[in-house]
Every structure is written in C-alpha cells, then in structure tokens.
Amino acid sequence: MTDTDLHPRMVPAQKRAEETVKHILNTSATLLDEVGLDGFNTNLLADRSGLRVGTIYRYFPNKLAILRALILEYANQMKMALENFNDLADPEKEWQHIIRSSIDNYVAAAKKQKGFISIRRAMQAAPELSAIEKHLVRDLSESIVEAIIKRGANVSKKHLFHVAGTFLMAAAATYDLAYLKGKKNHQAEAEIIAELKLMSISYLANYLA
C-alpha cells in the first residue's frame, strides 16, 4: 500500500463538500461501533449514509483512507484535551492536580468521540495507521519530558521518554477498559478511572516533584 492510498482524493473547498466529508466520517464512526472493523466497508457506508459509493470514492480512495481520516481527527481531539500537560513545566502548580484534570479531559473527549474504542482498535489495522498513535504519543511525551526536566529531575532525557510513553500507553489502555465497562456499569467505569488516577500519580511521583 502506498502513502497516497491513505490520503483523501480531494480536499473539500466548499461548505457543501465539507459537510459531505463530515457526514461520511460521522457515519463511519457510528458504523465501526455497530459492525466492527471487519464488517465495515464502503458499500455499507454508502447505504447507511444515503450517499452513492461513487460519492464516497470521490473523497476517499478506500476503507483505510477513511479510517486514517477518523484516526487523525481522534488524535487531534486527544491532543487538544491534553494540552494542560504543558502546565507540568510550572513548578508552582501542583502536578498531581494537572494529572487528574488531564485524565478527566481525556475521558470527556473520549465520551464525545463517536466510535471511540473502534477507532482505537482501527489504529492497529495497518502500520500506516498505528504510526499516527506513535506520533501522538511522541508529541505528548515531549511535553511531559520537558516538564519533568524543568522540575529538576536528575534522569536522562532518553529514560524520561520511556517514562512518558509508559504512562501514556498504560493510561490509554486502562481507560479503554473503563470505557468498555462503562457501557453496562457506570460505577465500575468510575472506579477504574479513580484507580487510573491513583496509578498514574504513584508512578509519576518517582520523577515529578
């Protein structure tokens, strides 16, 4: 698969075209939740969206290109939700509060994201898609690493990237569990999120002061 295969065929320049692309992506996210990655295809998408298959192919060359667009949208939303990681660099601010609020922001963004868990699973469908998550983790890790350094941690930068990556990936996986539990048991979801905060703070206390 070439890089071009994963890019949109055209960038919408008019409002009507933008709305069509948004409709395609929203419907795709809903379908992923209903039928999963294996059941998702452009014919089903056309039927559910009320669009012709040709209209979908006008914007996206294939299924993976649609998934890539969804994942990029997800990554942008998560990055904005976690912007307050930058506050960790201020030693006057309580870092524990920042971590708790960051987790709350992530949870809120996840709940707003249609097809959240299905989009996260789709990231493993191809190396080109999982690379988006790697870039997201790298960007977020940079904020955390720089913050830890500014707070005076005597640890190598290379090791701190391992620390940040471990924290981010473990937190994301733990919330995946909470999200799935929450579909049937909101209390279980809340308890797992509380444990996630405790786990994250206990771990990062080794590096943040």
> Domain limits at 126?
68-204
3-state SS assignment for residue 185: coil
Tokens found for residue 127: 């190396």
Are residue 83 and residue 169 in the same domain, yes or no?
Answer: yes
Are residue 133 and residue 87 in the same domain, yes or no?
Answer: yes
CB 129 within 8 A of CB 123: yes
Percent of the chain with pLDDT over 90: 76
Let me know if residue 96 belongs to a domain. Answer: yes
Encode pLDDT of 28-49 as tens digits. Answer: 999 998 998 889 999 999 999 9
The confidence band for 75, taking pLDDT boundaries of 50, 70 and 90, is very high
CA distance 75 to 164: 17
The confidence band for 80, taking pLDDT boundaries of 50, 70 and 90, is very high
Cβ contacts of 72-76, under 8 Å, gap ≥ 24? 72/132, 73/25, 74/113, 74/116, 74/119, 74/120, 75/132, 75/133, 75/135, 75/136
Mean pLDDT of 78-87: 93
Question: Which residues, at least 6 apart from 120, have a Cβ–Cβ distance to it below 8 Å?
Answer: 74, 172, 176
Alpha carbon distances (Å) from 181 to 7, 28, 103, 113, 191: 34, 23, 17, 17, 10
Are residue 43 and residue 78 in the same domain, yes or no?
Answer: no
Are residue 20 and residue 118 in the same domain, yes or no?
Answer: no
pLDDT at 146: 92
pTM (predicted TM-score): 0.87
Are residue 114 and residue 125 in the same domain, yes or no?
Answer: yes
pLDDT at 128: 86
Return mean pLDDT, the chain: 90
| CATH number of the domain residue 35 falls in | 1.10.10.60
The confidence band for 126, taking pLDDT boundaries of 50, 70 and 90, is confident
CA distance 147 to 141: 10
Count how many domains the chain has. Answer: 2
Encode pLDDT of 8-26 as tens digits. Answer: 555 555 678 889 999 999 9
Are residue 132 and residue 33 in the same domain, yes or no?
Answer: no
pLDDT at 57: 92
Encode pLDDT of 94-112 as tens digits. Answer: 999 999 999 999 999 999 9
